[in-house]
Structure 1
Amino acid sequence: MMAFKTDIEIAREAKKLPIQEIGAKLGIGPEDLVPYGHDKAKVSADFIARQAGNKNGKLILVTAINPTPAGEGKTTTTVGLGDGLNAIGKKAAVCIREASLGPCFGMKGGAAGGGYAQVVPMEEMNLHFTGDFHAITSAHNLLSALIDNHIYWGNSLDIDIRRVVWKRVMDMNDRALRDIVTSLGGVANGFPRQAGFDITVASEVMAILCLSNDLEDLQERLGRIIVAYTRDRKPVTCKELKADGAMTVLLKDAMQPNLVQTLENNPAFVHGGPFANIAHGCNSVVATKTALKLNDYVVTEAGFGADLGAEKFMNIKCRKAGLAPAAIVIVATIRAMKMNGGVKKQDLGAENVAAVKDGCANLGRHIENIKGFGVPAVVAINHFAGDTEAEIKACKDYVASQGSEAILCKHWAEGSKGIQELATRVAQIADSGVAQFQMLYPDDMSLMKKIETIAKRIYRADERLADKKIRDQLAQWEEQGFRDLPICMAKTQYSFSTDANLRGAPTGHSVPIREVRLSAGAGFVVVVCGEIMTMPGLPRVPSSESIMLNDEGLIEGLF
């Protein structure tokens, strides 16, 4: 059996160019790059502002079927497609999210692609990178400290300490901090209250940074964050606590997008990383817009399956930023099709054409949903060595029956050479102008009607279940002027339904709404369906147990 190199081994062998040479490919001079070492840099805000008059390139979204333990490879395909476009003579860049330390040391591993379709420096990207997440953590926790400090020194805003909704954050999986009690130990330590921690990627500050156009916009959005409610239920904002200015100062550098490179020395913007459940799961607006001003094609991704990531990309990110995708790629694997068809993970190695056909229903539902946005969809079959010709043909035939096309991609093993067919087809679609992008719902639709629209049109649910308390809360927010906000559904990523075990393309299910949260700064209403963990825990055997420095001082175990 052929031995494959690990992602980190491949990344370590990369022939990286100095970041100034990557910037030069985009017309960014060294004076407009803020270097972090030799192979990564931030693009200055002044340079970005000067590109405002440039024509935008074509935006290509990479999304996927619902994730399975079999693996799909969405980021790998995003990076591979960017390299593929450059290989066929197009000027293209990729835009992806930054990696969180929590999943990196937990069980997911890294988030820089894989095989010969990676962004480098892989180790730094998966660890501290340029410090953006640390800045977001610090800004968030400054606000947390100011809330308790305000209460300690007299509470002139009349904050009800039972109704403080702003938690603290850290970029690590730590279940022990989900629910805590603060300020124990006597009068000098303040007023004891129940509190908790979320992971940094679930912070509203993260979502705000990723949706802001510039520092002025950032500060305005930070100021609108609702941190608590008074005893008579009036919201208390970040601006009323006078925290928005200092938070913006902490985020000044983090607002500048990061420029790195792929293994094939093509430009990659890596910036921001909001949760794809509790937030919108896309890289920053400023990175995407900057890339569009400097390239003919920009390949970006959205978190999890298309029912979460693509839906939020279009209904939240595109709505807020005035963007429109010219083409969409849906990533699938034969292994995942078999798993959706009922095959267990340990049995995926055996050929099973019937299971592939059965599992394709999940893919078909995503194709149909994407078409509902008026954008043509192409399926990328991310190739695994064990895939058989009969299984691949079954998937291709199914996709053709849905009025779309599936293209086999071997970028993991071959880099850009293995994905040029997809790159050529995607460029043709993007250039054809056939996309007629449309939102799923208008701004002025009621909040509950927006929820119903997503539940029925994307999830194919028969109904949504919401008790009177939730309906009254939505009605109150509409009266307060928040009716025009989009909806951010927080549900399991593993199914179209809210039941993680319901694979395929289920119908006849309901969407129970457990709670609703107003992210007034980010500008959306979060609708929590089922149990959504905003502070994950570590698995029984976390990845961190295998991560270490070897005798040469190189990192091992990061994948």
Structure 2
Amino acid sequence: MNSDIDIAYGSQMKPISEIAKDLLLTEQDWEPYGHYKAKLSQQILDKLADEPNGKIILTTSINPTPAGEGKSTVTVGLGQALNQLNKKAVIALREPSLGPTMGVKGGAAGGGYSQVLPMEDINLHFTGDLHAITTANNALSAFIDNHIHQGNELHIDPRRVEWKRVLDLNDRSLREVVVGLGGASKGVPRQDGFNITVASEMMAILCLANDLQDLKERLSRIFIGYTYERDPVTVKQLGFEGSLTLLLKNAMKPNLVQTIENTPAIIHGGPFANIAHGCNSLVATKTAAKLGDFVVTEAGFGADLGAEKFLNIKTRAGGFEPDTVVIVATIRALKMHGGLNKNQLHEESVDALERGISNLKKHMETIVQFNLPFVIAINQFPLDTEKELKFLTNWCASQGAEVSIVEVFAKGGKGGIDLAKKVIKSCATKTGYMKYTYELENSIEEKIVKIATNVYGAGRVEFTSTAKKQLMLLNKHGHDQLPICMAKTQYSLSDDPTLIGRPHGFTITVRQLTASVGAEFIVALTGDVMTMPGLPKKPAALNMDVKEDGRITGLF
């Protein structure tokens, strides 16, 4: 089979005007970014405010492994399959980050015959949204340092500036830096650091804002640090919420593209799920729900991370809830959760599959806790044996769970027809309202404990002395009513990436708590998770190149 990039280059895209026309959009509803990309207007939501929303389908997965799960591929394939069944489906995805694209993961636009196009643009600079977020974030850093340098009217303590600079690349050397060196004319020296753009509060704010006015109000509430008197300082006090909104004005507009089969796809925002809230923008999901009868969206990594945050944070901010959930699993990944190494995956092993299936079981239980129906999608790989597939489908049936074997990587939408039919049926089975893991009135500590015990299956939660002091400050400044955004390894239900499968009785250690007041959540850092990742020994960028005619190689 050809590489993803070769398949993409061999596909026939429609002009973006035709995709917009299929969605019944007028010329005032969108603006072109080249032949195959467009920005969508806020007026679409205003114009269609009284129209009913389409069914929202959330795609999540088991805990990821080096074997790969293909969650984005299944999301795209399911959208294509729904359209093959003559359902008006729109896909809503996150924008890929250059960090993992150039690092371990490579591109993130689906795969095989279930990709979003133009994949080379989407995986690189796209329409410049991430650059705009990076610029706005770093502009605020410049404004803070300039304020201190120019007399420091607000009495900001340089030792207690919490706002960090960002870069959308994995660069471990920037985790801790010193700025302002070189004498009085170069600024005031202070310790600083960089996060990756997709872990920033600026990214979260853009993704959780309902419109430009909401964006400006959220930006004004950003907490940047403390005064010498230990009072909090916000962007509103600095007076730069207007200029920051200006920098993000175009980035706030969702991006319209298409899949290999010309299914409309709205791609907007890209927070990581292990260190941020892991969902595409509210505006993108809401717009897709007005334009389609079905919306297929995804949340990053497993149900313990992306889906938990989608359901506890994003739905609260947006005032909606999904109609059903798709849990993606693979034979390969479940065998790794059962103890096999990656180089052993070519061997048939029902025993390893049976051991690893406990990971899938926990994620099923988590979705049931939210009172949502679900369908299990087994993303088939070439080396999966009939015996293994039969065991897994029989096990799912024994649990009373709908299950579908999907081949969307090799067959596109055709390989997801059975899944699409079961998803349509599942949407109709939803009863009652979704249940949250915690109530906003719960204390910060109670919320974290409920997530750790109910979603992860932890035995207990420990707070470091630093986290306890931060907890006191958060309560003092009235941030205790905010949702929680847990930063945790994606590879395990615990905060230890080596504890695969379904560990029991483990302890979650919260080492740091910070308030993202503009995003309206509290970030709880656990274990050794980093907000600025590093590159591997051999980055994916080593395989990337561009030919004389401009064709890209090695992006997948």
User: Structure 1-normalised TM-score?
Assistant: 0.98
1:304-453 to structure 2, matched below 5 A, reads: 304-434=301-431, 436-453=433-450
CA distance in 2, matches of 1:456, 1:544: 39
CA drift at 1:530: 1.0
**Most deviating of 462-471 and 102-111:** 462-471
Q: Which amino acid aligns with 1:101?
A: L
User: Is contact 1:326-1:435 (8 Å) kept?
Assistant: no
Partner of 1:91: 88
- Asked whether 1:136 is paired with 2:124, we answer no
Deviations, residues 246-295 of structure 1 (Å, cap 9, x unaligned):
01001000000000001000100000001212211000000000110111
CA distance in 2, matches of 1:334, 1:7: 22
User: Is contact 2:466-2:511 (8 Å) kept?
Assistant: no
CA distance in 2, matches of 1:441, 1:154: 45
- Asked whether 1:56 is paired with 2:53, we answer yes
What 5-or-longer segments of structure 1 have no aligned partner? none
Amino-acid identity (%): 54
- Asked whether 1:548 is paired with 2:545, we answer yes
CA drift at 1:319: 1.2
Question: Does the C-alpha gap of structure 1 residues 557 and 469 become closer, same or farther in structure 2, counting only changes over 3 Å?
Answer: closer
CA distance in 2, matches of 1:363, 1:402: 11
Q: Which amino acid aligns with 1:142?
A: A
Partner of 1:535: 532
Q: Which amino acid aligns with 2:423?
A: V
CA drift at 1:346: 0.4
1:10-89 to structure 2, matched below 5 A, reads: 10-89=7-86
In structure 2, the residue corresponding to 1:217 is in which secondary structure?
helix
Q: 224, 241, 244: which one pairs with 1:244?
A: 241
CA distance in 1, matches of 2:124, 2:229: 44
In structure 1, the residue corresponding to 2:86 is in which secondary structure?
coil
In structure 2, the residue corresponding to 1:514 is in which secondary structure?
strand
Q: 174, 185, 192: which one pairs with 1:188?
A: 185
- Asked whether 1:494 is paired with 2:491, we answer yes
User: Is contact 2:464-2:512 (8 Å) kept?
Assistant: no
Q: 441, 463, 467: which one pairs with 1:466?
A: 463
CA drift at 1:472: 4.4
CA distance in 2, matches of 1:256, 1:491: 30
User: Is contact 1:20-1:29 (8 Å) kept?
Assistant: no
Deviations, residues 388-433 of structure 1 (Å, cap 9, x unaligned):
1110111112222222122100000000111100000101111344
Deviations, residues 201-229 of structure 1 (Å, cap 9, x unaligned):
11100000000000000000011111111
1:166-245 to structure 2, matched below 5 A, reads: 166-245=163-242
CA distance in 2, matches of 1:473, 1:284: 29
CA distance in 2, matches of 1:469, 1:21: 55
Partner of 2:257: 260
Partner of 1:110: 107
CA drift at 1:469: 4.6
CA distance in 2, matches of 1:351, 1:250: 54
CA drift at 1:470: 2.6
CA drift at 1:468: 4.9
- Asked whether 1:303 is paired with 2:300, we answer yes
Q: Which amino acid aligns with 1:412?
A: F
Question: Does the C-alpha gap of structure 1 residues 62 and 288 become closer, same or farther in structure 2, counting only changes over 3 Å?
Answer: same
**Most deviating of 227-236 and 63-72:** 227-236
CA drift at 1:194: 0.9
CA distance in 2, matches of 1:155, 1:306: 45
CA drift at 1:61: 0.3
CA distance in 2, matches of 1:462, 1:432: 33
In structure 2, the residue corresponding to 1:37 is in which secondary structure?
coil
In structure 2, the residue corresponding to 1:239 is in which secondary structure?
helix
Question: Does the C-alpha gap of structure 1 residues 164 and 349 become closer, same or farther in structure 2, counting only changes over 3 Å?
Answer: same
CA drift at 1:475: 3.9
Partner of 1:484: 481
In structure 1, the residue corresponding to 2:441 is in which secondary structure?
coil
In structure 2, the residue corresponding to 1:354 is in which secondary structure?
helix
User: Is contact 1:65-1:363 (8 Å) kept?
Assistant: yes
CA distance in 1, matches of 2:334, 2:160: 46
In structure 2, the residue corresponding to 1:107 is in which secondary structure?
coil
Q: Which amino acid aligns with 1:222?
A: L
CA distance in 2, matches of 1:480, 1:266: 47
User: Is contact 2:373-2:430 (8 Å) kept?
Assistant: no
In structure 2, the residue corresponding to 1:495 is in which secondary structure?
coil
CA distance in 1, matches of 2:457, 2:108: 30
Partner of 2:142: 145
CA drift at 1:552: 2.9
User: Is contact 2:98-2:169 (8 Å) kept?
Assistant: yes
User: Is contact 2:149-2:187 (8 Å) kept?
Assistant: yes
Deviations, residues 503-525 of structure 1 (Å, cap 9, x unaligned):
01111101111110110000001
CA distance in 1, matches of 2:190, 2:479: 29
In structure 1, the residue corresponding to 2:326 is in which secondary structure?
strand
**Most deviating of 426-435 and 272-281:** 426-435
CA drift at 1:363: 0.3
Q: Which amino acid aligns with 1:102?
A: G
In structure 1, the residue corresponding to 2:450 is in which secondary structure?
helix
CA drift at 1:78: 0.4
- Asked whether 1:8 is paired with 2:17, we answer no
Q: Which amino acid aligns with 2:483?
A: P
CA drift at 1:473: 2.9
CA distance in 2, matches of 1:201, 1:469: 25
Q: Which amino acid aligns with 1:233?
A: R
CA distance in 2, matches of 1:69, 1:322: 35
CA distance in 1, matches of 2:432, 2:349: 36
Q: Which amino acid aligns with 1:248?
A: T
What 5-or-longer segments of structure 2 have no aligned partner? none
CA distance in 2, matches of 1:62, 1:379: 10
CA drift at 1:483: 2.1
CA drift at 1:478: 2.9
CA drift at 1:435: 5.8
CA distance in 1, matches of 2:115, 2:409: 9
